[in-house]
Amino acid sequence: MAHYTKIPEGYVSALSLRETQQAIKYIKDLFQQSLSFALNLDRVTAPLIVASDSGINDDLNGVERKVAFSMKEIPYEAEVVQSLAKWKRMALYRYGYKAGEGIYTDMNAIRRDDDANNTHSIFVDQWDWEKVIRREDRTVEFLKDTVRAIVKAVVYTNRRVKLRFPQLHAEIAETPYFVTAQELEDRYPDLSPKEREDRVCAEHGTVFVMGIGGKLKSGAPHDGRAPDYDDWSLNGDLLVYNKVLGGAFELSSMGIRVDAASLRAQLTEKGATDRYAFAYHQMIDRDELPLTIGGGIGQSRLCMLMLEKAHIGEVQSSVWPEDTLTICAEKGVKLL
């Protein structure tokens, strides 16, 4: 079996198990308040399960298997969400939110086909957020301004955490460096997308890689992205340099969402125009859903970074392959 988990030599957690749990709560309480203030978001309740034929669940890269099941008294199949990208936009429409207003929620999901390693678990916990925008806001500059606001909330939270737990020393660059996926490919043509991210994050600390999902000049995308929520020309990943793991570390995937024109173009490119059978896609095509920007910010990822942890299992409780358990035990890494 391939070992996906690698613990850095000499790694020792700065916090005990009890301190870790206290710090996780502190980070989550503080950051969601900071994010809500920065983007003008209301907290809402969101689903863990949706109907399998609703078209609301996130298809991620289009190949991941969803966790689905039948129910005792309901005649259709349900499935556990993989993210809430589509549900949030529908919620903004149903709740009557206006431009400049938005929502966020604690999103828990199961992604059964994710590789379990230092930074990935089949259990996903993130702050999913979505905000109504005007058509004139569908620009790269508006996207950048939103990224800057999120980074400020992250940096503020990190400063407060270090005051509360002075044994922590994580540094997060407050000024994000913006670069497109195509610019990275042009700059580092002989490197893989992940190696390009590692290189640019080592140079700049906090990086937002824009334009993810569509094909680059090489003929391959920088990374996969579903064709029916982000506009591939107006999206990106927020990355920071993680000193503990020695590479790029993704905190958020986000973007301005598709309008009728970009939805049709991206579904056509992916050969997925059959999705117009769903109400969500039809409502975008008829310009009935509000124009929005949104994304997900990893809760465990943020805790990992600020608490200087080497494995995501140190900040969340999940299930792990036997080799991960063995490696962590040998290295003295205590999983929750």
Residues serving a catalytic function are 58, 111, 126, 237, 250, 253
Would you say 145 and 125 are in contact if contact means Cβ atoms under 8 Å apart?
A: no
Distance CA 325, CA 271 (A): 41
- Residue whose C-alpha is closest to residue 269's, from 225, 332, 333: 225
Count H helices and E strands in the chain, helices first: 9, 11
What's the distance, Cα to Cα, between the start and end of the chain in Å? 23
- The pair of structure tokens assigned to 273 is 């125009």
Distance CA 31, CA 303 (A): 10
Q: Which amino acid is at 5?
A: T
Q: Can you spell out the DSSP letters for 19-64?
A: HHHHHHHHHHHHHHHHHHHHHTEEE----SEEETTSS-S--TTS-P
Longest distance between any two alpha carbons in the chain, whole Å: 57
